[in-house]
């Protein structure tokens, strides 16, 4: 459920950014690849929500990759301002919650993959016994 909420919130945040700023919503970020990645999250985040909601192993793997890249891109992009003012890490939105969610996703990845493997094993019905 935390995956769905986190990636759902990410979807809303990136859609909101694009509605406000258009295709150049991330123009302030230093690298074109990071800007393109943030735009792609409008598709990747909801894809993770759907796949994890369907308890697909691919959703768990995709979620781990997406959040790892998201956290890295945010730290790269925001490092100069954090270096200048470390108190920015105390804000309720931004790097700290993204980083904590990323850690949660990565720490829970293996247990979720194991659970998804167990859940995907067909249970014999009484008729087949």
What is the pLDDT at residue 94?
A: 87
Instruction: Examine residue 73 and state whether it is found in any structural domain, yes or no.
Output: yes
Instruction: Examine residue 127 and state whether it is found in any structural domain, yes or no.
Output: no
User: Number of folded domains in the chain?
Assistant: 1
- Share the mean pLDDT of the chain: 90
Other beta carbons less than 10 A from residue 126's beta carbon: 5
Instruction: Examine residue 93 and state whether it is found in any structural domain, yes or no.
Output: yes
Instruction: Examine residue 125 and state whether it is found in any structural domain, yes or no.
Output: no
- Its domain, for residue 82, covers 2-120
Please write the tens of the pLDDT for every residue from 23-35.
Answer: 899 999 889 999 9
Please write the tens of the pLDDT for every residue from 59-93.
Answer: 999 999 999 999 999 999 999 999 999 888 888 78
Which DSSP symbol is given to 92? S
Dist. CA 35–CA 124, nearest whole Å? 49
Instruction: Examine residue 90 and state whether it is found in any structural domain, yes or no.
Output: yes
Please write the tens of the pLDDT for every residue from 40-58.
Answer: 999 999 999 999 999 999 9
Instruction: Examine residue 44 and state whether it is found in any structural domain, yes or no.
Output: yes
- Neighbouring residues of 81: CB distance < 8 A, sequence distance ≥ 6: 88
| Residue 66: φ, ψ to 5° | -60, -45
Instruction: Examine residue 126 and state whether it is found in any structural domain, yes or no.
Output: no
Instruction: Examine residue 52 and state whether it is found in any structural domain, yes or no.
Output: yes
């Amino acid at each position: 459920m935390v995956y769905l909420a986190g990636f759902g919130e990410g979807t809303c945040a990136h859609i909101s950014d694009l509605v406000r700023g258009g295709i150049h919503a991330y123009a302030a970020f230093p690298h074109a690849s990071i800007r393109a990645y943030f735009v792609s999250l409008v598709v990747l985040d909801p894809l993770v929500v759907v796949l994890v909601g369907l308890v697909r192993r691919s959703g768990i793997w995709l979620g781990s990759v997406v959040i790892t890249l998201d956290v890295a891109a945010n730290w790269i992009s925001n490092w100069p301002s954090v270096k200048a003012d470390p108190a920015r890490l105390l804000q309720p939105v931004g790097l700290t919650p993204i980083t904590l969610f990323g850690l949660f996703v990565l720490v829970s990845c293996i247990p979720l993959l194991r659970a998804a493997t167990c859940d995907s094993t067909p249970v014999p019905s009484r008729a087949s016994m």
